[in-house]
């Protein structure tokens, strides 16, 4: 089932790639230009995706009587939990300019460690030490301009 859907997705994606590539200009000296390689890739995706979907359609028909067995393999809880690190990356991207890289990283690590049942005091210590070390290392030593945020500098000034 999943291979069928992925095959279908590849085929549709390939079609989109070909459609977008057809809008690119051709070069005056040659009959092709920047659209050539994307078009070849898009066609490959369409054919490969269709082949994958069709191959699995036959297998699905054979297994259609046992639909309960098929649906039972999906782990919805696992899928949702696996998305938490992704959600925390989005949180970092959105909030780092305001909260600062250090605070965002500390919050993200705390959430992830608590999710897997780490002790609270240990999570707090690791989150604080590691986020501080990363920011110091990258900002001071490797000269990467990580966002400082507006919250911590204001607190420091007020202090």
CB closer to other proteins out of 132 and 153: 132
CB closer to other proteins out of 93 and 151: 93
- Please answer whether residues 146 and 101 qualify as being in contact, where contact means their C-beta atoms are separated by less than 8 angstroms: yes
The Cα 102–Cα 125 span in angstroms is 14
- Please answer whether residues 17 and 35 qualify as being in contact, where contact means their C-beta atoms are separated by less than 8 angstroms: no
Shortest Cβ 157–other proteins spacing (Å): 26
The Cα 56–Cα 62 span in angstroms is 10
Burial of 131: CB neighbours in 10 Å, binned 0-12, 13-18, 19+: buried
Instruction: Please report, for the chain, how many H helices and E strands are present, in that order.
Output: 8, 0
Shortest Cβ 83–other proteins spacing (Å): 8
DSSP 100: -
CB closer to other proteins out of 73 and 159: 73
Shortest Cβ 85–other proteins spacing (Å): 5
CB closer to other proteins out of 143 and 158: 143
Where do contacts with other proteins occur on this chain (CB under 8 A)?
Answer: 2-3, 6, 10, 17, 20-21, 24-25, 27, 29-31, 33-34, 36-38, 41, 44-45, 48-49, 51-52, 55, 75, 78-79, 81-86, 88-90, 92-93, 101, 105, 108-109, 112-113, 115-118, 122, 126-127, 130-131, 134, 138, 142, 144-146
């Amino acid at each position: 089932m999943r291979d069928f859907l992925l095959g279908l997705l590849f085929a549709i994606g390939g079609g989109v790639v070909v459609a977008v590539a057809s809008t690119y200009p051709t070069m005056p000296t040659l009959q092709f230009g920047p659209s050539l390689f994307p078009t070849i890739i898009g066609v490959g995706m369409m054919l490969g995706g269709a082949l994958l979907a069709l191959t699995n359609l036959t297998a699905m028909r054979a297994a259609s009587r046992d639909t309960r067995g098929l649906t039972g393999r999906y782990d919805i809880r696992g899928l949702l939990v696996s998305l938490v690190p992704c959600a925390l990356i989005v949180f970092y991207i959105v909030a780092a300019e305001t909260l600062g890289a250090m605070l965002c990283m500390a919050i993200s690590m705390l959430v992830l460690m608590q999710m897997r049942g780490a002790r609270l005091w240990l999570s707090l210590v690791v989150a604080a030490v590691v986020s501080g070390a990363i920011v110091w290392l990258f900002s001071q030593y490797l000269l990467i301009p990580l966002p400082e945020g507006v919250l911590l500098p204001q607190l420091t000034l007020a202090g």
